[in-house]
Structure formats: structure tokens, C-alpha cells
Structure 1
Amino acid sequence: MKNECYKDTLIDALGIKVTEIGEEQVVATMPVNEATHQPFGLLHGGASVALAETVASLGTYYFINEEVEYAVGIEINANHVRRKKDGFVTAVGKPIHRGRTIMVWDIRISDETGNIICVSRCTIGVFPKRSE
């Protein structure tokens, strides 16, 4: 994956690495460390949400024509079901709905042994680019 294009973005700051983008799913990993912790040394829920929206957004870009369209997150929810102190988490996003103007993604974030850490659903809007 071309992770270098995410330099100086939130994706870069959180250490998110995209490992797969395809029609069926998008996969990315993120370290659980001081950059992604909340004050009590656990994975911050906001970091998990950022990982989930990153996966959904990149998955949507797989399906659109970037020359004439752009995509942005318009809604996300997340259930944080297990805590995580260190190591890595992996997000797997799968499209639930692939419409012309709206795409809905199911994202499961798990630890190294497959335990679910967070379950998220993200809606991405697809809009036409305006000519300057």
C-alpha cells in the first residue's frame, strides 16, 4: 500500500498502516502506544474511531472516480467492547451498502489474537467535485 501518501496527516500521527484495499474489504493496523492512549494508559476510543473512519473512507475511494468525485465521512458510531493497553489492533472494514452517493461500512477492530476491541459502522457521502 502507498502509506507514504498519508504523511503529515492524522493517519500518520496515529501510526495507521493500510495493508489491504479491495472490493470486499479494507484492512489497516494501528499501534497501541502513547500516541493512541488515553490518560489511563488504554487505547483511546477516539483513536479507534479514527482508525474505523480511515478504513471506511479508503474503501469508498476504491469505488469512486477521484477525478470527478470526493468522499467524506458523514456519520460514525462505535461500541468499545474490550480494553487494550499495548501491541497492535487491526481494523477490517466491509461494505454493507455501496450506493452512488452513500456507502455504509461495517468495521471490526480486533487485537492480535482476534478478540474484538471495537465494532463500528460508518457512513461515507460521495459528492461531485465542483469545477473551479
Structure 2
Amino acid sequence: MTDTPASPFRTATTIDRLNALSRDTAIVALGIEFTEIGPDFLRATMPVDARTRQPYGLLHGGASVLLAETLGSTAGNLCVPEDRICVGIEINANHVRGAREGVVTGTARALHVGAGTHVWEIRIEDARGRLVCISRLTLAVVARAAR
């Protein structure tokens, strides 16, 4: 018998809503698109093209980190009440394989979801399912500022 992990998500949303919230941001500028919400994960894709490559033709590490923080922060914000928001306070990334073309897919899963902090793991893989980057993001849970 296998255990099914409990969902950390408190807020119901849709892929269309997440992509709409990304308008006019760096997320859209780099071509990042949310693609799937699972019971314990959030997934998005990003093209490896002129927007995301470094001068040597490889996926830029900074673009991978932007994808990782986008996924982890968005997933974290699905886990908190409306009067709270998650903000990144630390991220690390290990770039383990280069990607030169196609699309990479990032998947965020919670390692810890607490009242004051979250820790998320984000795996970024190439189209063949090979690990390109592994990242860990720490989020602080703070009061949402009045608009």
C-alpha cells in the first residue's frame, strides 16, 4: 500500500487563472506557462530560446532560477489564507545538465509548509526527462499589504 501525500494547497485555482496573473511580468517575457496543478505539485514550462539562453547557447542559469522561484512562490501562495502572502527569502540552484533547445519543465513540490516559512523543491527537466536543474526555495509567509 502506498501513501498518497496530502495536498498542501488551500486555494483552488486554475491554470488559466495562474497564467492570467502572470501578464505583464518577467514570467511572460521568458515564455513561462503554467501547465498542471496536481494534488501535491505545480508544473510549468519554459522555452530554451533567445529569451532564455546565455551567449554560449545554453539555457541561462538565471532563467532556470526565475522558473524555479516562479513555481515555488506561486505554489506557496496557493497554501496560505487570503490575508497572507509568500515571498522568497532564499533560493539555491544546482545546474546539472545543459539544455540548448526545446522546452524545459519545472515541477515544484513542498518539503515543508509551515505557518511562517515554506521550503519547496523545484526540479527542472528537459524534454527527455533528464534533470537540468534542482533548486530549493525558502519562502516567508507575511501579511498581505493592503492595495
Choose which of 2, 16, 23 in structure 2 pairs with 1:7. Answer: 23
Superposed CA RMSD: 1.3
Choose which of 104, 115, 123 in structure 2 pairs with 1:100. Answer: 115
Unaligned 5+ segments in structure 1 are none
Alpha-carbon distance in structure 1 between the residues aligned to 2:57 and 2:111: 33
Alpha-carbon distance in structure 1 between the residues aligned to 2:20 and 2:144: 24
The yes-or-no answer on 1:47 pairing with 2:27 is no
Following TM superposition, by how much is the alpha carbon of 1:5 offset from its aligned partner in structure 2, in angstroms? Answer: 2.1
Q: Which residue of 2 aligns with 1:64?
A: 80
Q: Which residue of 2 aligns with 1:21?
A: 37
**TM-score of the superposed pair, with normalisation by structure 1:** 0.94
Alpha-carbon distance in structure 1 between the residues aligned to 2:71 and 2:145: 25
Choose which of 74, 86, 110 in structure 1 pairs with 2:101. Answer: 86
Alpha-carbon distance in structure 2 between the residues aligned to 1:130 and 1:14: 27
Task: Give the direction of change, closer, same or farther, for the CA distance of 1:122–1:108 in structure 2 (3 Å limit).
Answer: same
The SS at the match of 2:56 is coil
Letter in 2 for 1:44: H
- Please list the CA deviations of residues 3-37 of structure 1 after superposition, one character each: whole Å capped at 9, or x if unmatched: 12211101001100001234400100000000001
Following TM superposition, by how much is the alpha carbon of 1:65 offset from its aligned partner in structure 2, in angstroms? Answer: 1.7
The SS at the match of 1:7 is coil
Count of matched residue pairs: 131
Q: Which residue of 2 aligns with 1:73?
A: 88
Alpha-carbon distance in structure 2 between the residues aligned to 1:22 and 1:116: 20
Following TM superposition, by how much is the alpha carbon of 1:91 offset from its aligned partner in structure 2, in angstroms? Answer: 0.4
**TM-score of the superposed pair, with normalisation by structure 2:** 0.85
**Aligned 8 A contact 1:42 1:83 in 2:** yes
Which one has the bigger strand percentage? 1
Alpha-carbon distance in structure 1 between the residues aligned to 2:93 and 2:69: 10
Unaligned 5+ segments in structure 2 are 1-14
Alpha-carbon distance in structure 2 between the residues aligned to 1:73 and 1:22: 22
Alpha-carbon distance in structure 2 between the residues aligned to 1:90 and 1:97: 22
